[in-house]
Amino acid sequence: MNPIENYLKCNFKDDMNTIQEVFQVYDQNNDGFLDFEEFFALIKDVFKNGHNTTKSEEISVELVEALLKIFDTDKDEKINLREFADVWRYWLKQVLKPVTALIIVDVQNDFITGSLALKCCPAQQDGASVISPINNLLDTVPFDVVIYSLDWHPGNHISFYDNRSLRPFTPLNKEKSEVDVMDAVEFLGPPKTEQVLWPRHCVQNTEGSKLHPDLKVVKKGIMVNKGTNPDIDSYSAFWDNGKLSQTELVNILVQHHVTDVYICGLAYDICVGFTATHATQHGFRTTFIEDASKGVLMEDMKKTRNKLMNMGVVMADSHQV
């Protein structure tokens, strides 16, 4: 049994004591660094553990050099303990002990058949079409955690077009009588808040706020409500739009030791896209499931796709998961 296999039996703890113990195993000359040869030995053990048929000679020098370059932040061509902690937490953990979460974003009645149905938006996409691929994922992929996010707005929420008179606009905005549904405005605050005005939707405890009845809800599925503050919208399932407060989502993922998140739902260019953005910013390896996500504006969907790909998000269809 190589050292990596031994520590896997400890549920891949990421405390510094464990990290230092593994570091010392590979620091054969006890100089406080992993030089190229020592780092090479680590990489060989990693790939042996993940692929029993892998031979040592199949691990290329180029691969090891590339990995060392990524984690050698002080550019001394060696890995110190601090850098090794990053290797452990941001690479080894994902490679050797992945924990997966499926985040299903806002597959609610109002976005499918209700007041903000996607098929009535400019892209004219049918929100109901995400249900079959999502249900198939739930039936066929053994995700460790399944999370359902829900828009969960109070009746006086800032995003509702019919609430536009409840808060003062900034002087640069046109008169309230001239503002239309889906226009962007700026409320005076404090703080000043940019907001798209949507039809009233997903009001707490209404039929429109419920998950669509055809969507499979697994027994251990976790519900996360967002958009509960009346004075700021929350597209992302992680944060409100001003990043003033966050939901419990990141804590749930951390408590379950999640390394990889798969994200889908409604709408592609808004809530799903923002959730994927924040998942990546929180350090999760992120996959965006495109055929299980539908959007509002085709141009915004293209922009969202390009932005996420530039951030390193994997774009995939459900059959590839």
pLDDT of residue 170: 86
Mean of the per-residue pLDDT values of the chain: 91
Q: Would you tell me the crossing angle of helices 36-50 and 61-71 to the nearest 10 degrees?
A: 110
Measured CA distances, 248 to 19, 99, 147, 152, 271 (Å): 28, 18, 11, 14, 16
Residue 272 DSSP one-character state: I
Catalytic residues: 106, 226, 271
Classified as helix, coil or strand, 151 is strand
The least confident of 2-6, 99-103, 132-136 is: 2-6
Instruction: Assign 129 to helix, strand or coil.
Output: helix
Whole-number pLDDT of residue 80: 97
- Residue 174: its pLDDT value, please? 60
Nearest C-alpha neighbor of 22 from the set 37, 47, 41: 41
> CA 67, 14, 137 angle in degrees (round to 5)?
80
Q: What is the pTM of this model?
A: 0.81
pLDDT digits (tens, 9 = 90+) for 163-195: 999 999 887 666 666 789 999 999 998 889 999
Contacts of 8 (CB under 8 A, 6+ apart): 49, 96, 97
Decide if 181 contacts 161 (C-beta within 8 A): yes
- As a whole number, mean pLDDT of residues 101-115 equals 98
Least confident range from 62-66, 150-154, 234-238, 273-277: namely 62-66
